[in-house]
Amino acid sequence: MQVNIVDLRYRMRKVLKALEAREAVTIYSRGKVKGVIVPPNQKKRIKAQDHPSFGIMKGDKRTVAQIMDELRGGRYRALRH
């Protein structure tokens, strides 16, 4: 999108919509480029099953309680007894 200084003042809603649409906005003043507003990089959300560690313990025969007991270790065991 290309806008001039007056457009920034009176048509800011259109500028914001262009940024929401991931479009860069070039600002002109007296026919010369004065700057460019670039939308921020947004992190792409991924599904849990697409994460690299999903299903990493698929073949493990231990129960969740057993795994957690091993992971918690020393201090947790000391508090239980």
pLDDT tens-digit map of 16-51: 999 999 899 999 999 999 999 998 886 677 788 888
pLDDT at position 15 is: 92
Q: What is the DSSP letter of 79?
A: H
Q: What is the 3-state secondary structure (H, E, C) of 1-47?
A: CEEEHHHHHHCHHHHHHHHHCCCCEEEEECCEEEEEECCCCCCCCCC
What is the spatial distance between Cα 19 and Cα 1, in angstroms, rounded to a whole number? 9
pLDDT at position 80 is: 62
* Domains in the chain: boundaries: 2-37
What is the spatial distance between Cα 8 and Cα 12, in angstroms, rounded to a whole number? 5
